[in-house]
């Protein structure tokens, strides 16, 4: 389950930020997760709860923002919506589509006090 290592990485970013800002606790973490990122939001939520126990982020809310997939179709020369990483262009059916969005995972916001 790679979500555990991802949750640990998120916690490290959160702890570094909290230390730099001299926070007492972390109240909220907002993550953006792309639909084509191979990250399972429910598994990540479970792992986040586990790794934050006893940390400055213990009890922090985790909000996950779903980022839709998009890609550049070389045949259409246009940005198109994508549901799968190696899927076909929904307009022309070509498989010459390069992902341009929806593969990322990033910490968007951290609320501290």
Domains of the chain: 2-112 (3.30.2320.80)
Average pLDDT, the chain: 96
Residue with structure tokens 């982020």?
57
The model's pLDDT over 10-21, given as tens digits with 9 standing for 90+, comes to 999 999 999 999
pLDDT for res 101: 96
Number of neighbouring beta carbons within 10 Å of residue 18: 20
pLDDT for res 59: 97
pTM of the predicted model over 0.85: yes
pLDDT at 79 over 90: yes
Q: Which residues contact 16 (CB under 8 A, 6 or more apart)?
A: none
What percent of the chain has pLDDT above 70?
99
The arithmetic mean of pLDDT across residues 72-84, rounded, is 95
């Amino acid at each position: 389950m790679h979500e555990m290592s991802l949750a640990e990485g998120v916690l490290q970013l959160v702890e570094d930020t909290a230390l730099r800002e001299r926070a007492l606790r972390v109240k909220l973490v907002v993550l953006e997760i792309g639909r084509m990122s191979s990250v399972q939001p429910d598994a990540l939520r479970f792992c986040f709860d586990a790794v934050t126990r006893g940390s400055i982020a213990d009890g922090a809310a985790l909000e996950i923002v779903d980022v839709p997939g998009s890609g550049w179709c070389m045949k259409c020369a246009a940005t198109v919506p994508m549901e799968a990483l190696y899927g076909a262009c929904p307009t022309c059916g070509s498989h010459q589509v390069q992902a341009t969005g929806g593969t990322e995972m990033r910490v968007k916001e951290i609320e501290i006090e």
